[in-house]
Structure 1
Amino acid sequence: MTVRKNQAQLTATEKRRFTDAVLELKRTGRYDEFVTTHNAFIMSDTDNGDRVGHRSPSFLPWHRRFLLQFEQALQAVDPEVALPYWDWTTDRTPRASLWAPDFLGGTGRARDGQVMDGPFARSGNRFTVSVRVDGRDFLRRALGAGGRQLPTRAEVDAVLAMETYDMPPWNSASDGFRNHLEGWRGANLHNRVHVWVGGQMGTGASPNDPVFWLHHAFIDKLWADWQARHPGSPYLPAGGTPNVVDLNDTMRPWNDVTPADMLDHTRHYTYDTAA
């Protein structure tokens, strides 16, 4: 069984194996396929039209399936690798361990945002940004620029206390747990982290930055925590809802998975919550 660990608890060997597996997926072109898929969905998901990966109830099961597929791709390279998660309520500054040169590298330089250290720096010629939103082919970040702050544990706990998964109008205007976690309402959890990192993380091509996977693993863990806290609160909507993915509807781009299939993450992996 795959166990996803807090990135702060990874050994030096675990960090290296993870980054080596990511670099191998990049070398083969597989990594960019994930970036392309995510970008296509974030561009097509709209509040008033068909929406699958974002701004909708299926935001959480869609990304759970997306991360699982990426994790399986990593494990095809190295069976010992699991996705780590980044608890940004604790590791809150650009000096946190995940931004060190032995893992993800740090923030970008002031002139153009280019990340200059770590395994994903452009200078190593191993991580060129191919799925671009502009002409720049290097990883960019601006950690905490403009005095931005990451969400706090108190803000997370307030969202985890919400009892209803989602509700009409089933988009970025909805109340309920999903939309508050996604970040269009209230404390702005998920979306705020993308903006705090900056660079490609602030775009539809956000998986270009490997921290995307650690951020979303934590979002997925928070969903798992919410499910454990509210066992009587189901995924909604259950059926007959235009433009969104109901409980038993197929989630594009896959033809074999529904939200119902993704409700129990323990069939695939667990989270190590040890501090």
Structure 2
Amino acid sequence: MTDYEIVELVNAFYELRNGPDLFNDLAQFHGQFFNYDNTADPTRLDLHFNLPDEPEREIFLAWHRRQMFEMEQAVQEINPDISLAYWDSSVYQSPTDALWDEDYLGSFNTNWSLGRNLGGNGALPTPARVDNLMNMTDFREFSNELERRPVHSGAHNWTGGAMPSTLSPRDPIFYFHHSFVDKLWQDWETLHGGSTFIITSMLRYDGTYSFDGETLPLVDPNDITDSRVLGVFYAEDGLAELDNYIVSNIYNPEEIFYYQFNIQAGDNFIVPEGAVASFKSLNEINLVPGFEAAPGSSFEAVIDTENGGAMNKAFSKGGIARAKNPYPYSELINKPIVWEEGGDLLDDKPIILTAAPNPFTEKITVKLNKRTDCVIEVFNMMGMLIREEAFQNTDTMVIKNLYGLSSGFYVIRVTDANGEILVVKRIIKM
């Protein structure tokens, strides 16, 4: 996360404690319905530890997915550019990680009397534990192993304080942790499919529970076995791949997909007529075949040059802080690409749909969204022009014989027949 996102998310968490207190409400609900196995009435519905013996009551993964979504919706009402992050506790395992800094999630420990004891109450999961989960093919075995073993329980115990208790949602780290749990479920479902629940509604999300004067919707857990149904995509290794999603604006009047590094949208990502959506990145946005902004939709793709701040604060991988420079392509890498009514570019100029493969080895194939006369230039990251080729009346251009280039970052610049710059794209040489 960038400094901007951290500040805004932390401020939103504090604001949610004022007036209607969502943190307290979710914690109290979680505590009240945590587990009834050892009570006088074990038939009552609850949230935890129903597998393997009581699959008819099982909602652990689906309930917490909807809980994360409720919290994220609440912070996005305060600032639509922010989202929950996920804490990969199999990688980030030190009490001195930036996550626990006072300007990140550290201040909540004292201010909210959480009583954390980082690292004092058990071990965090290993990457091998995560890999073992991904190798399971039966959903209920996967869900039971995930819930009961260190991949889920480890972060609760390791953090200490409220986290090992039934009131764990009082600690903001709970939402980072369960976003990671939810990501693992999404990864598993993508690999194996087959997530299914017997129960068809969930506690809190059964159409009868109200918070802050609003009745929460009835949610069938079988309807949210894919996180994309809720518009939730998990980025990894500097790339957010947005696919197989139709913008509906059911939950937000404008759906904003904000990610620090690269956003790539395609493969049936659709902004239909009347829908409103935007992509925001500090780095790069690629619209590949399968992406569609239909006539009558409102869509924009914007490089955020105002709120970048410092990068690599917590869990980002491969980030490069930007600085102004005199290179001939520098400002255009950050140039917004904007769609409005009709789904066409305002200036009707070509844009790169793909520059593949990326990373490349010997050649690059560039595809535009329309036929044109143009010149393609290839620069190294020092701004030196190393290749220039002209093309006439085409939307597909191939630049060959690049095998002699050193590994690293390069930049493609496309200009029209009049020498006007159309678009710039960063690529990587293997």
In structure 1, the residue matched to 2:48 is 54
SS in 2 for 1:270: coil
In structure 1, the residue matched to 2:123 is 149
The answer (yes or no) to whether the contact 1:45–1:54 under 8 Å persists in 2 is no
Task: Give the 3 Å change call, closer, same or farther, for CA 272–94 of structure 1 in structure 2.
Answer: same
In structure 2, what residue type is equivalent to 1:178? S
In structure 2, the residue matched to 1:103 is 104
Deviation of the 1:46 alpha carbon: 5.5
1:235 corresponds to 2:196: yes
- 1:271 equivalent among 234, 248, 254: 234
The answer (yes or no) to whether the contact 2:35–2:46 under 8 Å persists in 1 is no
In structure 1, the residue matched to 2:143 is 178
In structure 2, the residue matched to 1:192 is 154
The answer (yes or no) to whether the contact 1:251–1:257 under 8 Å persists in 2 is yes
The answer (yes or no) to whether the contact 1:45–1:51 under 8 Å persists in 2 is no
For 1:67 and 1:196, the matched residues in 2 are separated by 21
Deviation of the 1:77 alpha carbon: 1.4
Task: Give the 3 Å change call, closer, same or farther, for CA 188–45 of structure 1 in structure 2.
Answer: same
More helix by share: 1
- 2:205 equivalent among 254, 258, 261: 254
In structure 1, what residue type is equivalent to 2:204? P
SS in 1 for 2:74: helix
SS in 1 for 2:155: helix
For 1:52 and 1:273, the matched residues in 2 are separated by 32
Task: Give the 3 Å change call, closer, same or farther, for CA 17–165 of structure 1 in structure 2.
Answer: same
For 1:225 and 1:45, the matched residues in 2 are separated by 30
Deviation of the 1:267 alpha carbon: 2.4
**5+ residue gaps, structure 2:** 51-57, 207-217, 238-316, 318-430
Give the 5 Å matches for 1:42-191: 42-44=34-36, 48-56=42-50, 57-105=58-106, 118=107, 120-122=108-110, 127-128=111-112, 138-145=113-120, 148-166=122-140, 176-183=141-148, 187-191=149-153
Summarize deviations over 1:217-266 as a string: whole Å, max 9, x none: 000000000001102x2324x4xxxxxxx2xx111122211111211211
Q: TM-score, normalised by structure 2?
A: 0.48
Deviation of the 1:88 alpha carbon: 0.6
Deviation of the 1:51 alpha carbon: 3.7
In structure 1, what residue type is equivalent to 2:130? V
Deviation of the 1:60 alpha carbon: 0.1
Give the 5 Å matches for 1:182-221: 182-183=147-148, 187-221=149-183
Deviation of the 1:149 alpha carbon: 1.9
Summarize deviations over 1:161-218 as a string: whole Å, max 9, x none: 111111xxxxxxxxx10011002xxx43211210111110010010111100000000
The answer (yes or no) to whether the contact 1:52–1:251 under 8 Å persists in 2 is no
In structure 1, what residue type is equivalent to 2:147? E
For 1:200 and 1:76, the matched residues in 2 are separated by 26
The answer (yes or no) to whether the contact 1:52–1:62 under 8 Å persists in 2 is no
1:19 corresponds to 2:10: yes
Structure 1 window deviating more from structure 2 (20-29 vs 187-196): it is: 187-196
SS in 1 for 2:146: helix
For 2:69 and 2:38, the matched residues in 1 are separated by 24
Q: Report the RMSD for the aligned CA atoms in angstroms.
A: 1.8
Deviation of the 1:121 alpha carbon: 4.5
Deviation of the 1:45 alpha carbon: 6.0
More strand by share: 2
Summarize deviations over 1:106-163 as a string: whole Å, max 9, x none: xxxxxxxxxxxx2x244xxxx44xxxxxxxxx121011115x3210111111011111
In structure 2, the residue matched to 1:39 is 31
Summarize deviations over 1:13-39 as a string: whole Å, max 9, x none: 111111100000012223211111111
For 1:43 and 1:210, the matched residues in 2 are separated by 22
In structure 1, what residue type is equivalent to 2:5? E
